[in-house]
Structures are given as structure tokens and as C-alpha cells.
Amino acid sequence: MSLPPLAPYPALRLRRLRQADWIRRLVRESVLTPADLIWSMVVHEGEGEVPVASMPGFSRLSVKQCAAAAVEARKLGVPAIAIFPHIDGAKKDAAGSLAADPNGLISQAVKAMKDAAPEVGIMCDVALDPFTDHGHDGIIENGQIANDATIERLVEQALVQARAGCDILAPSDMMDGRCAALRTALEAEGLQDAMIMSYAAKYASAFYGPYRDAIGSGKLGTAGPADKKTYQMDPANTEEALREVALDIAEGADMVMVKPGMPYLDIVSRVVEAFDMPTFAFQVSGEYAMIMAAAQNGWIDEERAILESLGAFKRAGAAGIITYFAPRAARMLGG
């Protein structure tokens, strides 16, 4: 698109449409509403809430509090909650056995939330990292993260989650063949209505740091590699992200996700343009922490930064955003 030169058009004043709130609202090209948000939440096994130091203003919640939060989500018009578990370190093992425990923390939380507010969608991560003592998303064989051996446990985990009432299964380990395996198992078990939102383009990112604090998954490298670069994507790549998304759609994903969010808006936009699929962005823990840290220092306006950061995803074409700010943003948006 090329604009005419200003000189022959002295009346070309783009500021005319910015002069008052009413006209700015009329010509606005994208809108953020509470209906765009998925509330990212961490549940723990104890009572009451436990603040997460690296995420000011964010706490792990008890099962009971998660149920109350689901009621709050309904009231605020937030359509769904993504729930992540904080598991007691003593209960973890190398194989992430507890991931598929039908009476485990995630099952309890999902059931409690569905009982309290059945109208609110619940999404669960299909991944082993909250349950492994080494913090990796896969089983380790000969010092390597095993792709195929891990699938079996993930399928068990997903079936447990779906049977507990989880609506959206979100395979998040960025390894191969997840969507196909889950889709096949769900169909075979009569769970064909369970949706899959694939973490299709998820990068090996520094911005997940506070999340590992939030779910209590320790420092990587005790067993296996010191990072997740053999399964999560290289932050330098775009074309590979498109291949990942194409594959997950072919394998049966209903929705796709890009993660992290703000540093990867170009990927969100490319994916939306290329596939026309419901595409979500995950505003991750590090993004939350950066906004809160700067705000607490008085360096940025907290509320404006929250809404601007979330609005950017809508401008980029995202269907919605998974965010720790969901309840606050929904309240600011009048939810």
C-alpha cells in the first residue's frame, strides 16, 4: 500500500480520526473483551493460597479456591481456565508417574471447577514436566528425552483429564506425534468431543522462568539436558513454526497456539494468515513478571500495560490469549 504524497493533499490529516474518544472507538480495528481470555491458574495440594515470588500478585490456589475462581470466571465473562499443577517434590519421579493418576490433583481441580461452574471451559496441559523429578517433559533414555516412549504416558494422562471433565487438552511438550496419538485415543475411548489445542509453535524460551517457580519444577540438568532445546523450537525460526502448525492440524488439532506471546507476535500473525485456524497466544509467566516488575518500580503504568499487551494479540489476529492477567483484565474491561 502506498500513500499519496502529502503535498498535493494538504487536507490529509490522519489525526482527525483520533481527536476524541468516541471517534477513536468508532474506527477501532480490533477489540479486546473478556471473551478473548483464558485464565491461566496454578493449583496446589494444600489449603489457602501461596504467593509465587517471581510473579507478584499471582498465587497458587487450593482446589477449593480454584472452584471459587471458576465461579468468578463465569461472572467476569472469561470463557475458560487453563489449569496447571504444583506437585509436592517428594511425589515426583523420573517417569512422571503421577501424571496419569485418576485421583490426582488435576482431576480433583477439574471436577471441583466443573461442579462449581460447568459453563466455564477447562483446559489442561498434556505434559509430564510438573510430575518429573528432573523437570523435563519426557522420559529420559540414555541421557536423551525419549519421544515415542513418552507418548504412552501422555495418552493415559489425557484420558484421565478428559474423563475428569476437561474440555480442552493442550499437548505442550513440543515433541512429535502428540496430536495424532491423543486424537486416536480420544476417538477410541468415546471421548470424541474433547478438543485439542496444540502448543503448535512453542519456543525454547527464557520467558518460562517464573512458571517453573510457580509449579515447583526445579532447575534442569540434574538428569538429562540442561535445557529443552532438543524439543522446543529455536527462537530464530519462522518457517519451522508453520510446518509444526500444519502438522498438528493434519494430526487433528482443533486450535493452535503460539508461545511465548509478545516476543512472537510475528509468528501469531503468520500462523493466522497461513491457516485461518483459531490461533491462541500464551502470554507466559516471564511476560507477566516483566510487566509487574516494571510497574512495581513505577516505570510503567500497570493497568495500561496489561491491556495494551493483551490488545496487541488481538491486533495480530489471535482468537484469544492465555494469560495470568485474565481476571484483572476482565474486570478492567467491565466483565
The residues of the shown chain that bind ligand PBG, judged by CB under 6 A, are 125, 127, 129, 137, 172-173, 208, 211, 228, 284-285
Catalytic annotation, residues = 202, 259
Looking at the Cβ atoms of 36 and 129, the one nearer to ligand PBG is 129
Question: CB of 285: closest distance to ligand PBG in angstroms?
Answer: 3
Residue 86: closest CA among 115, 108, 70, 111: 108
Looking at the Cβ atoms of 116 and 321, the one nearer to ligand PBG is 321
Looking at the Cβ atoms of 211 and 313, the one nearer to ligand PBG is 211
Question: CB of 190: closest distance to ligand PBG in angstroms?
Answer: 27
Residues contacting residue 157 through CB under 8 Å, at least 6 positions apart: 99, 100, 126, 128
Question: CB of 228: closest distance to ligand PBG in angstroms?
Answer: 6
What helix, strand, coil percent values describe the chain, rounded to 5? 45, 20, 40
Residue nearest to ligand PBG (CB): 211
- Length of the chain, please? 335
Question: CB of 150: closest distance to ligand PBG in angstroms?
Answer: 12
Residue 262: closest CA among 213, 212, 216, 325: 325
Contact criterion met (CB below 8 Å) for 163 and 120: no
Looking at the Cβ atoms of 284 and 333, the one nearer to ligand PBG is 284
